[in-house]
Amino acid sequence: MLQRLFDFLSASPVNFLATAAVCKRLDEAGYLRLDAAAPLGALRAGDKVYVTKNDSSVYAFHIGKRLVADGGFRMICAHCDSPTFRIKPAAEMLRGGMLSLNTEVYGGPIMSTWFDRPLSLAGRVVLRGEDVLHPVTRLLHIQRPLLVIPNIAIHFNRQVNDGVKLSRQKDMLPLMAAAVDEAMARDGVLLTLIADELQVSRGDILDFDLYLYDTTPPCTFGLNQELISAGRLDDLSMVHAGLEALLLAGESEAAPEHTCVLAVFDNEETGSQTKQGAGSPFLRTMLERLVIAQGGTADDLYRAVEQAFMISADNAHAWHPNYSEKYDPTNHPLLGGGPVIKLNAAQKYASDAVSAAIFAGICEEAGVPCQYFVNHSDVAGGSTLGNILASSLPLRGVDMGNGVLGMHSVRETASVADHLFCIKAFTKFYEL
């Protein structure tokens, strides 16, 4: 199971590749890919289907024995994007024979952690199609070290260890090549690289969505190899746990009692207000179409929502032994202590006493421990998918996640045991 997590992380340097990796597993498990623009058709108990949006979000449905209108559905939500740096258009910057790429920050990375690491490019490239309204999309994953964001030597910045404010425009530009002359630059080094990687004509490249990622592979560490060090654990570890649970719960030939849903959204790190984010009506529309495909009406969707339960799975802050003052004195989850239920009096999370009790009960039935996270009252916290999704689908639900250290660092730290606990709890949830 741990190797499958590592394989998934390595195959998913950015949102588009993560979605493709999820779709590949669904295909292998017998799920049928639907075209959102085509009629949904009849769906029967036991059917396994999925649909994508924007190449960067995916929604899978295992149809249950009970009509959705009568039994509701069991939903796990997560997101596939992580903080990084996006390559701007006309990105090449030639200075003193050194070629850098112009970038902009995506999400909220801990920028200093990106210095002096072997980086590369991944994302999607848009190519000329049969007509202007139907371009062709190709995924790009350059799997060799290609760039580095070089630090400035301490000799030129004696205050570097005293805390330095970083400029997103000046300090975070990755170096791509040395000894580049103006003739090479005029030819367009980046577009030539993309064309060579995809084996297409440069003239067919219309645009791209490309991002930086750290090429260092995931690993375990610790006295007993009990800890995980990897990039993008937030939130790909939760995507992986949800996917594994969906497939494990669906191994039986019998249809599940209730329809099981896995929703992997994009753009949580930038607020979710996109057509492929949790703030979009896309999932609600798909659920309504599913209800109608089973002979129901729009009114039956509301009945289904009232009987449904959602797990919003996004990683939590594990207790950091060097910064205990940042944590609530009585609710600070530990690495290895099990999945974490997240609570907030300002309603930044979807959890309330009822949904928290339900998830704790699921963990108890699965035989795994669970913990609680509440912010230190003097430290502002973040938000996640649950409440954003609930604004269009008023679901009962809980916000939870496995604890990590270094959240939004280029590499985060998590617990092996927690990941296995989470898969067991999610599988039990789908089986209820």
Q: What is the pLDDT of residue 319?
A: 97
Would you state the pLDDT for residue 384? 81
Q: Which of 31-45, 275-289, 359-373 has the highest mean pLDDT?
A: 359-373
Q: Hey, CA dihedral for 31, 250, 232, 326, is it positive or negative?
A: positive
The pLDDT of residue 399 = 96
Predicted pLDDT at 305:
93
Token code pair at residue 155: 């000799």
| Phi, psi angle pair for 118, to nearest 5° | -70, 115
Mean pLDDT of 36-63: 94
Per-residue pLDDT tens digits for 371-419:
999 999 988 777 788 888 888 889 999 999 999 999 999 999 999 999 9
pLDDT band of residue 299 (cuts 50, 70, 90) is confident
Q: How far apart are CA 193 and CA 99, in angstroms?
A: 13
Q: Answer whether 241's CB lies under 8 Å from 426's CB.
A: yes
Local confidence band at 61 (pLDDT 50, 70, 90 cut-offs): very high
Beta-carbon count within 10 A of 261 CB: 25
pLDDT given for residue 418 in this prediction: 98
End-to-end distance of the chain based on CA atoms, in angstroms? 23
pLDDT digits (tens, 9 = 90+) for 332-385: 999 999 999 999 888 889 899 999 999 999 999 999 999 999 999 988 777 788
For residue 182, pLDDT beyond 80: no
Mean pLDDT of 151-165: 90
pLDDT at 347: 84
Provide the pLDDT for residue 228. 98
Give 297's pLDDT tier (boundaries 50, 70, 90).
confident
Cα–Cα distance for residue pair 298/48, rounded to 1 Å: 22
Who wins on pLDDT, 215 or 70? Answer: 215
Give the pLDDT score at 318.
Answer: 97
Q: Burial of 184 by CB count in 10 Å (0-12 exposed, 13-18 middle, 19+ buried)?
A: middle
Considering the chain, what percentage of its residues have pLDDT values greater than 70?
Answer: 99
Average pLDDT of every residue of the chain: 94
Helix 2-11 vs helix 416-431: angle between axes, to the nearest 10 degrees?
Answer: 90
Can you say how many angstroms the Cα of residue 323 is from the centroid of all Cα atoms in its chain?
27
Q: Average pLDDT for residues 189-202, to the nearest whole number?
A: 94
- 3 state DSSP class of 138: strand
Q: Does the pLDDT value for residue 215 go beyond 90?
A: yes
> Tokens representing 365?
């039935």
Instruction: Quote the radius of gyration of the chain (alpha carbons, Å).
Output: 23
Residue 184 reports pLDDT greater than 80: no
- Residue 399 pairs in a beta bridge with 312
The total number of residues written for the chain in this structure: 432
Contact 317/403 with Cβ under 8 angstroms?
yes
pLDDT for position 170: 95
* Digit-coded pLDDT (tens) for 9-30: 999 999 999 999 999 999 999 9
Query: Where does the pLDDT of residue 231 fall: very low under 50, low under 70, confident under 90, or very high at 90 and above?
Result: very high
- In this structure, are residues 247 and 427 in contact, taking their beta carbons and an 8 Å threshold? no
DSSP codes, 32-75: EEPPTTS------TT-EEEEEETTTEEEEEE--SS-HHHH-EEE
Residue 95 in this model has a pLDDT that exceeds 90: no
